[in-house]
Amino acid sequence: MNIIETFYTAFAAKDPDAMTACYHKDIHFEDPAFGVLKGEKAGQMWHMLCNSQKGKEFHISFSNITCQEDKGTAHWEAQYEFSATGRKVHNKIKASFEFKEGKISKHVDSFSLRTWASQAMGFKGFLIGGTRFFKKKLQEKTKHALETYMSKQKES
């Protein structure tokens, strides 16, 4: 099993420790919802997401994995209920990876934010989901949630 398969197998099992073990200490993560996260923040995002889905309907599938010496790609899909609205989301994501010292050093997820917002928020999401304003506000909200999550983890 290559490192990308290991990463997504762990994600499907909601095992953020195994996921972050695949990441290099200097990881650069990027996606439309969180923007750029580096180092510990990237790993903590997976902890936050996996922990928020415990006991809920949450399915991950992955396919079309390519893995070369220094880079790779994958297609993955997430099916879950968006907690803020209770609406079902089926997000289809293209991922690209770079490797360093046998670990994932760069992970970029690409997906249509408008499609995601339409599923997660309905018609309102369809109308505003493709705007820069929406993307900026979403990233502010997700980064704030991550900071709050990390603060609580340090307290416990």
Residue 68, domain CATH: 3.10.450.50
Residue numbers of the domain that contains 9: 3-155
- Domain tally for the chain? 1
Is the pLDDT reported for residue 121 higher than 90?
A: yes
Q: Facing residues of 66 across strands?
A: 73
| Run of H or E residues at 32 | none
| Mean pLDDT to the nearest integer, 68-90 | 95
Contacts of residue 69, Cβ cutoff 8 Å, sequence gap at least 6 = 99
Average pLDDT value over all residues in the chain: 96
Band (46; pLDDT cuts 50, 70, 90)? very high
CA pair distance 75, 63, nearest whole angstrom:
5
Is the pLDDT reported for residue 156 higher than 80?
A: no
| Run of H or E residues at 88 | strand 87-100
